[in-house]
Structure 1
Amino acid sequence: MTVYLIDSSFEGLLCAVFEWFERKPGPVMLKTTQQHQPDAFSDIFHVHNDHKKADRVWKGLQARLSKDWIRKFYCTFLSEDPAAYHSLFEFSCYIFNNAPGVEANYGNEYVLALAQTAKKVEREKHRMEAFIRFQHSADGIFYCTIDPDFNVLPLILSHFRNRYTDQQWVIYDIKRHYGLYYNLEIVAEIQLESLEEKRLQKPAEAFLSEKENLYARLWQDYFKSTNIAARKNTRLHVQHVPKRYWKYLTEKISI
């Protein structure tokens, strides 16, 4: 079997689809260069990124799929799951090789895989929007660090830009080493040096606003005052707010 190697980029994935239709090599396995383990039996084809080829494939998918399925496609890519890359490749070939509307065939394993993976990514996106808590720095910027299961920063951008239009903020993904910075006009992608990342995760008192601890205590007091001990249901609470998200919540952190 031929193995198509891509560089994990969205452009590389689309170029792999283009190359398959141009070469017609038969069944292939799509893998990223990071996950590939060389063997003596597979033919290797390195997919080189080409903006024009990727653009043709993307426009073709947009012409054949609804906006909802285009979003599912993109969300599946953001899952960063190596198996999902192959599912996206096979799904694309399936869409181009059949009549319009075949994406409704959930009997196809790749259609089902996209729907299931996209649902997980969307769930993570909603949780990040709900559970992110900003801290106020001494220079007036609100910031937070996150390490979500999936690469959801592109999906939560518009939510925070529309909701916090009157303040500067930074949301930084420490797992993927990049973040978003809003300067009251535009949102820009940023990357910090390792030392700056560490400082952002565990800021010194001098880094924080003088009133940050006060704000945190006020929020914790409000949370405690609205809590009804007699109706405490830990199992249901953990179901809606999994423990891995507690590190983001001011009301769960002792000051």
Structure 2
Amino acid sequence: MKKQTLIYDGSFEGLLTAIFQVYEERLNDVFIVDEVHYEPDFFSEPVTVYTDDGKANRVWDKLKDYKNLSKLIYWSFLSEFDERERYILEALHYVLKTQNENDYGHPAVLMLSQLTKKVGREKHRMEAFVRFKRTREDLYVSIISPDFNVLPLIAKHFKNRYADQQFVIYDTKRGYGLFYNLDSIAFIELDFNSKEDLEKAMHEEETNYNLLWQNYFSSTNIKSRVNMRLHKQHVPKRYWKYLNEKNPL
């Protein structure tokens, strides 16, 4: 019998549904792959997985019994690493068999841990470096393009920090964003040309604020004491576009 390749829709719920199918049908020689990365294989039988929230919830409820493993699986999924599904399935098999979710000597568990650390660093940096622009409708907007899909992980931080203002954090790399309406956060999709459209919608006071901040930063910066190497170490150059002092618009 050919091995099976379970093709899912790329969502976390879709992945959990595929995992449910693996255990329900007791599949051994099996791969799980995002439909975006699927390539036909003569030696493998393709099987389309249809996302089922009920099955996904059952798997996630089971994973909640393994606090560390559930975090490793979710955060690794958000890394968007091409082979994350293989490591997730291998780690899950191992932990359910041994009940040892902290064995980083196992290659799959170690890989998920490494991916989780990378995602965690990006989460921390987004929380530190994201800046908002005020629009004429008093909506605060931030345009980002993080290395990993960290929007679901930073939502709580910004909701707590900016509880008194409506805001949108939009990920142009993945085409979706967060919208906070002073009550709850929702995931949204928008059709706009990022920076150009933001400039048109920006409140007139925002430009003045940017200029003031630029002048303040310049006047307090002592050029003779600048250590650019250390500066780039703490604030990598790819994050400068989010900072007012580096990127006035």
TM-score by length of 2: 0.92
Seq. identity, %? 47
Distance 1:42 1:125 in 2: 37
Matches within 5 A, 1:38-77: 38-63=40-65, 65-66=66-67, 68-77=68-77
Cα RMSD after superposing both structures: 1.8
Matches within 5 A, 1:137-176: 137-176=135-174
Query: Compared with structure 1, are the counterparts of its residues 204 and 60 closer, same or farther at alpha carbon in structure 2 (3 Å cutoff)?
Result: closer
Distance 2:221 2:80 in 1: 38
User: Is 1:232 paired with 2:222?
Assistant: no
Could you say what secondary structure the match of 1:5 adopts?
A: strand
Contact 1:13–1:89 (CA<8 Å) still a contact in 2? no
Please say which of residues 82-91 and 160-169 is displaced more in the overlay: 82-91
Equivalent residue number for residue 22 of structure 1: 24
After superposition, give the CA deviation of every residue in 1:107-129 in whole Å (9 maximum; x if it has no partner).
11110011100111111111111
The structural deviation recorded for 1:33 is 1.4
**Gapped regions of structure 2 (runs ≥ 5):** none
Contact 1:17–1:93 (CA<8 Å) still a contact in 2? no
Contact 2:211–2:248 (CA<8 Å) still a contact in 1? no
Distance 1:220 1:141 in 2: 22
After superposition, give the CA deviation of every residue in 1:186-219 in whole Å (9 maximum; x if it has no partner).
22222112xxx21x42137552212111111121
Contact 1:61–1:92 (CA<8 Å) still a contact in 2? no
Could you say what secondary structure the match of 1:211 adopts?
A: helix
Contact 2:141–2:169 (CA<8 Å) still a contact in 1? yes
Equivalent residue number for residue 117 of structure 2: 119
Distance 2:123 2:11 in 1: 20
After superposition, give the CA deviation of every residue in 1:30-56 in whole Å (9 maximum; x if it has no partner).
211111111222122222222222222
Distance 1:69 1:4 in 2: 22
Which amino acid counterpart does residue 201 of structure 2 have in structure 1? Answer: F
Contact 1:181–1:188 (CA<8 Å) still a contact in 2? yes
The structural deviation recorded for 1:131 is 0.9
The structural deviation recorded for 1:224 is 2.1
**Gapped regions of structure 1 (runs ≥ 5):** none
Residue among 210, 218, 227 paired with 1:216: 210
User: Is 1:82 paired with 2:76?
Assistant: no
TM-score by length of 1: 0.90
Equivalent residue number for residue 8 of structure 2: 6
Equivalent residue number for residue 106 of structure 1: 104
Distance 1:9 1:3 in 2: 16
After superposition, give the CA deviation of every residue in 1:65-86 in whole Å (9 maximum; x if it has no partner).
12x4422321111112221122
Distance 1:167 1:115 in 2: 35
User: Is 1:186 paired with 2:184?
Assistant: yes
Query: Compared with structure 1, are the counterparts of its residues 72 and 226 closer, same or farther at alpha carbon in structure 2 (3 Å cutoff)?
Result: farther
